[in-house]
Each structure stands twice: as C-alpha cells, then as structure tokens.
Amino acid sequence: MIKRPSSMKKTISSFALALGLLVGTTSAMASEEGGLPSAGTNVRDQASLQRGAKLFFNYCVGCHSLKYARYSRIAEDLGLSEQDVMNNLNFTGAKFGDTVISHMPEDSAQQFFGKAPPDLSLEVRAKTADWVYAYLNSFYLDPSRPVGWNNTVFPNASMPNPLWELQGLQTAVMKSGGEEVEKLELTQPGKLTPAQFQQATRDLTTFLEYVSEPAALQRQRYGIWVLLFLAGFTFLTYLLKKEYWKDVH
C-alpha cells in the first residue's frame, strides 16, 4: 500500500517554526532599543487619533509640517467632516485638499532655532513610536541652552517644549559629578496631571504613527479578509487532497 505523504503536516510544522523564529527575533530587537518606555499606541483607536490630531494642530503645526499628509485624507481616515477639519484643525488658510504645511517661514525658524524644524511625516517610522513618546515626556529646564530647554532622550536639541503648559516644568536631578541626568522632577505642575499628560503624548504619538503610514489602517481592515480567504483555501485544498488520495492503494 502506498502511504499518503505527510506534506500538510510538514508544511504546518515549518510555518509554525518560522513564525516562532520571527517572533523571537522581533522580541530580541525590541529589547535592544535602549530601554525606552512603551508608547502603547494603537492606530485603530479613532478617538486617540482624533485627540492626537487636535494636539498636533494646536501645538505643533506652528513649526512642523506634514508634507505627505493632506487635510482631506486625515478627515477621511479619522472619521471627521470637512467642516470639522477646516474649522478646528486648519489654522493656516490651506485648502481642504492641500498638504499640511507649517505657517512659520523657514528663515524665521532658522533665526529662532538655528535650523528649520523637521517635517514630521515620517518621524515615527524613522525613530519608532517609543522614541517619540519618550522624547515628548523628557523635556526639562536648562538655562545653559539657547532655547532654555533640554531633553534626556535627545540631548542638546534645539527645540523648546511645545507642551510645557500641559505638562508643567521639569528640572533635572544630576548624578554625582553633575554631568549626567539621573532623573527628572516635576517642579511646577501644568494643566494636566502626569497620567493625563502621558495619555496626551500617547495620543499625539499615535497620530504621528498614523501619519507615517496612513495605509496601515486600510491594510489592517483588509487583513482579516485575507486571513479568512487563506483559511478557506487551505481547507478546500485539504479536502481536495483527501479526495485525490482516497482511491490510491
């Protein structure tokens, strides 16, 4: 009697092994990123995206652009109407179909900060959501810096803390020797509690993560249908295999 080949079992085992190796490698890479706190972002959380958009357009667009994002696309993906966007997010007089461009002239930015503030369209893809989240939470007063601020995640950055009114004022506690920051202390509370401010920076990071790859929302919606198709196709293939081999002896 001819034995039925166990190709299905071998395929499943190989797939499981590859998946395990991939997950292990990804976890190892994540653990090597330097101990940054987890941002905890979720681009499928539309409420978080909307809150993050509000923060960006109220506190960031004065200096930073999103040259790969259009107001119309943001409205579509975040479940906002054209009126919502034009009345509450558009402060530059741009048209609904325009990209998001800062209204700060480049020469003024260079005069105040030494160089033009970077476009933030791909910031999360370049530096990860954890890095951006940690950066937003790590500003402290530093009179030695030209703008009066410093940052433990990005030392000697030229950017002041745009969210200081919400967070309050942090000062650095230095390690012995006075050259390295040991921790940050909140010496003057802001409008938000520390927990509320962390949620605000999480929302802002979530919005910037979405801007870095807007297609991710569509890909996740389509993903479930792709998985269902593959599962159905696998089942039909298995039935076909049984039918083909049932008369083979």
Q: How far apart are CA 37 and CA 86, in angstroms?
A: 35
Cβ(249)–Cβ(2) below 8 Å:
yes
Torsion 44-48-54-56 (CA) sign: negative
Cβ(179)–Cβ(170) below 8 Å:
no
> Is the pTM higher than 0.85?
no
What CATH homologous superfamily does 40-213 map to?
A: Cytochrome c-like domain (1.10.760.10)
Domain range annotation of the chain: 40-213, 218-249
Each residue's pLDDT, cut to its tens digit, for the chain (249 residues) gives 434 444 444 444 444 444 444 444 433 334 344 589 999 999 999 999 999 999 999 999 999 999 999 999 999 999 999 999 999 999 888 999 999 999 887 666 666 666 788 999 999 999 999 999 999 999 999 999 988 999 999 999 889 999 999 999 999 999 887 789 999 999 999 999 999 999 999 999 999 999 999 987 666 666 677 788 888 888 888 888 777 787 775
Q: How far apart are CA 97 and CA 108, in angstroms?
A: 26
Q: How far apart are CA 139 and CA 155, in angstroms?
A: 9
Residue type, 136: L
* Class of residue 54 by CB neighbours under 10 A (exposed 0-12, middle 13-18, buried 19+): middle
